[in-house]
Structure 1
Amino acid sequence: MAGTLADAWAMWKADRGLLLPVAGLILFLPLFAIMLLAPAMPPLSVDPEMTDAARRVVAETVSNWMLTYGGWYLLASAIVQYGALVILILYLQADQPDLGAALARAFRLFPRYLPAMIITGLPLGFGQFFVLFLLPGLYLFGRLMVVGPILIAEPQPSIRRSVGRSWVLTRGNGLTAAALAGVTVLGGALAALPFVLIDHRLTAAKMANPVVIAMVDAAAAGVTAASMMAVALIQIAFYRRLLSSPVPNKGI
Structure 2
Amino acid sequence: MSSNDNRRKALGDVVTVDAWHKQFSEGNGIADLHVDVVFSTARVGGERESKISFRLSLRRAELVLHAKATEPLKIDKSSVSRELRSVEVKQTLQKDEKKSAAVKASAAASASSKSVGVRGRLEVSAAADVSVHHKINVTEKLSIIAVKQSKTHDGHYRWDLTPSAAEILEGRPWDPIKSPRAKLIDTRSDRSRGIPPTVSIEVRCLREDMLITDIQIKDENIWQKIRGKSAHQNRIAAAESFIKDKLVEEGLEFSDIEDRFGLITLVDVVAEPEG
Q: Please indicate the TM-score interval, normalised by the length of the shorter structure.
A: under 0.3
Tell me which structure has the larger Cα radius of gyration. Answer: 2
- Structure with more relative contact order (C-alpha pairs < 8 Å, separation 6 or more): 2
- TM-score, normalised by the number of residues in structure 2: 0.24
- TM-score, normalised by the number of residues in structure 1: 0.25
Choose between structure 1 and 2: higher strand proportion: 2
